[in-house]
Structure 1
Amino acid sequence: MNAFKRLITLFLLILAIIIGAWFGWDNQANQELHFFGIWSPEFPIGVLLLSTLMMGFCIGLLVAQFGLYKVRLQNKLLRKQAKQRELSIRSGVN
């Protein structure tokens, strides 16, 4: 089953690369962006779209890390409480 999952993942990765290359090939026209009063140099539309997607991906990972940090702190607190209760139960039995 693990080999099948790897094969599917490899297939999807190759498919994404092919679609991305096709999109980049079809969108070679240069375009400049106006962002908060700043004009960017002219780049192909495919490059601008890819860079925008990558920035969104990185921002999404950064935001997710804050939530993950909160969960890790809560997990650490719960482990500490469980260890204290286990010690109190053991000391009560002896």
Structure 2
Amino acid sequence: MSAWEFPVMAILLPAARFGKPVCPHAGGVGLCEPVQHLPRFDYVAVSGTTQDRIIEYVEHLHDHFVDPVETRHGAYRARSMPGFSGQMKQSSPHRHGYPGGSAWA
């Protein structure tokens, strides 16, 4: 489990206790890749339902990841590879790193 998921779990659990909805943020570079695992955690360990469950999705920048997130019919698909899907392609940070990346030339 990655470090950012512990705070999300600390929110999911009391929210479930008090019947409050949660929508984890996934709109930044690479946030969709790890956040895609939260619906399964929520279903298996917290709520036991997919009813009224939402997680943000942004359709960009996935091509920078080795195992990019996939969606189908408005839902994140379960991963076929192990891990949290956050590994970037080696070329992306080298190309886009500031100030030395070739994208800044």
TM interval, short-chain normalised:
under 0.3
Choose between structure 1 and 2: higher strand proportion: 1
Greater relative contact order, per chain length (Cα 8 Å cut-off, separation 6+): 2
Q: Which has the larger radius of gyration?
A: 1
Choose between structure 1 and 2: higher helix proportion: 1
**TM-score, with structure 1 as normaliser:** 0.19
**TM-score, with structure 2 as normaliser:** 0.17
